């Protein structure tokens, strides 16, 4: 670059590099401007950082250590904030695809912990652990907790699941040694029997795993809700059990599933079409959770969560068809055909339905009265929410929004 008037030299500082992130390139450009005498407002760029004195050359045998300061988190070290009241800083580990989250839990930084002190020990509430896990999951790209299993139950479950595989492998190896022994069976017979026994053992292991109760959630999805509640109630935890009917909302996997099927199929065969539901809005479920968070009276209580109206499965599917504009003929299936449909669908990716789902629908999923009125708010009707995300006009508006965001 040519010399500017009144200056001894000029500098060309690029702000974009082809193979470097924009944020790093801009930070490097700002540093070069500083070296050329054009310092930005560092406090505006890094509001949580502080300046330290650096040694000039020669060192003259003087030590320049950072003075220790009391801090509640690691943000003072230059790390990014986790944006959560229980967490301090977050750092991405280089070339590992992992995220490290840190925080400090102490009464001098979180005054409310003093109310959770038993004798000389502070008992951190379980809800706090869940909050920390959820935020760490969001930062690492896993924003949901699949399930929480007590450690003592998890050990036996892992032993049953993994042990069945190892036992099957050991038995298969032992049978192979016996069956391929020419002194016992001819070779052309022994190897055929070995292959056949391997298939039989594989089916046996699959059968065992299918009936191992992995967790309370597994029991619940397999129509054994009473057993699941008994495990939670005897766990020694401070528990509150919610029993929601089918939950609906913008991204639900229930009404949206039938909407998708009705767009694809000219006729909709429907198993357990007479099953009764009382759909509850996801927002009402969240409000119920929030209402009991700090309510000690809700401990060891069970709450039914339902909407204001009862529908059969066939009525719900027909209503979805009216909203989407793809109202298809519904073919109700008897018990035998419903079982056959579930057997087929449970082997498809997804799966769309299983025999366990079918078994759970044999019991009406409804409540005695309105589900959320005892929390101080009326339950939301299905008709007040579903048209906002299932109707054809609503879907078109969402597509238009996506196009606007993409600049198309």
> Would you give per-residue pLDDT tens digits along the chain (408 residues)?
434 445 556 778 888 777 777 777 888 888 888 888 777 787 777 777 777 666 655 555 555 555 655 555 566 666 777 788 888 888 887 767 788 888 877 777 777 777 777 777 787 877 788 888 888 888 877 777 666 665 555 666 666 666 767 777 788 888 888 888 888 888 888 888 888 887 787 777 767 666 666 566 667 666 677 777 887 788 777 788 888 888 998 888 888 888 888 888 899 888 888 889 999 998 888 888 888 877 788 888 888 899 999 999 999 999 999 998 888 999 988 888 888 888 787 777 666 677 777 777 777 888 875 445 567 788 899 999 999 888 866 655 554 554 555 555
**Separation CA 385–CA 363 (nearest Å):** 26
| 3-state secondary structure at position 344 | helix
CA 147 → CA 18, 151, 230, 299, distances in Å? 43, 12, 17, 20
- Looking at CATH, the fold of the domain delimited by 74-139 is given as Thiol Ester Dehydrase; Chain A (3.10.129)
- Predicted TM-score (pTM) of the model is 0.53
What is 238-406's CATH number, 3.30.420.40, 3.40.50.720, 3.30.1490.20, 3.30.470.30?
3.40.50.720
Partners of 276 in the β-ladder:
312
Angle value at C-alpha 304, between 302 and 310, nearest 5 degrees? 165
Tens digits of residue pLDDT in 335-378 = 888 888 887 877 776 666 777 777 777 778 888 754 455 677 88
In the chain, which segments carry CATH 3.40.50.720?
238-406
| Positive/negative CA dihedral, 155, 160, 165, 170 | positive
Q: Where in the chain is the domain with CATH 3.10.129.10?
A: 74-139
CA 14 to CA 29: how far, in whole Å? 7
Give the C-alpha separation, 279 to 366, whole Å: 8
- In angstroms, rounded to a whole number, what is the distance separating the alpha carbons of residues 112 and 23? 38
């Amino acid at each position: 670059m040519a010399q500017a008037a009144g200056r001894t030299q000029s500098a060309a500082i690029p702000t974009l590099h082809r193979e470097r992130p924009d944020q790093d390139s801009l930070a490097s450009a700002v540093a070069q401007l500083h070296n050329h005498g054009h310092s930005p407002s560092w406090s505006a760029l890094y509001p949580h950082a502080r300046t330290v004195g650096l040694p000039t050359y020669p060192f003259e045998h003087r030590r320049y250590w950072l003075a220790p300061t009391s801090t509640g988190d690691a943000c003072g070290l230059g790390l990014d904030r986790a944006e959560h009241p229980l967490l301090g800083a977050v750092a991405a580990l280089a070339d590992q695809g992992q995220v490290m989250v840190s925080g400090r839990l102490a009464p001098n930084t979180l005054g409310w912990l003093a109310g959770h002190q038993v004798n000389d020990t502070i008992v951190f509430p379980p809800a706090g652990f869940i909050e920390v896990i959820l935020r760490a999951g969001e930062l690492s790209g896993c924003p949901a907790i699949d399930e929480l299993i007590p450690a003592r139950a998890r050990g036996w479950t892992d032993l049953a699941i993994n042990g069945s595989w190892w036992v099957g492998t050991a038995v298969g190896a032992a049978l192979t040694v016996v069956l391929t022994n020419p002194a016992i069976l001819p070779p052309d017979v022994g190897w055929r029997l070995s292959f056949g026994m391997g298939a039989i053992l594989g089916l046996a292991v699959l059968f065992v795993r299918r009936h191992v109760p992995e967790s309370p959630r597994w029991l619940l999805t397999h129509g054994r809700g009473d057993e699941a509640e008994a495990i939670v109630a005897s766990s020694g935890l401070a528990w509150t059990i919610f029993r929601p009917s089918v939950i609906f909302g913008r991204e639900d996997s229930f009404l949206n599933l039938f909407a998708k099927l009705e767009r694809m199929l000219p006729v909709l065969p429907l198993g357990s079409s007479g099953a009764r539901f009382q759909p509850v809005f996801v927002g009402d479920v969240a409000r119920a959770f929030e209402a009991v968070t700090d309510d000690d009276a809700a401990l060891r209580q069970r709450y039914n969560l339902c909407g204001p109206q009862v529908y059969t499965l066939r009525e719900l599917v027909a209503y979805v068809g009216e909203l989407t504009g793809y109202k298809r003929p519904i073919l109700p299936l008897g018990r035998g055909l419903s079982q056959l449909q579930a057997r087929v669908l449970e082997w498809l990716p997804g799966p769309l339905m299983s025999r366990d789902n079918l078994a759970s629908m044999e019991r009406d999923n409804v409540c005695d009265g309105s589900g959320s009125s005892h929390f101080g708010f009326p339950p939301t009707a299905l008709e007040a929410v579903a048209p906002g995300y299932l109707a054809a006009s609503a879907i078109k508006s969402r597509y238009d929004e996506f196009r606007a965001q993409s600049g198309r």
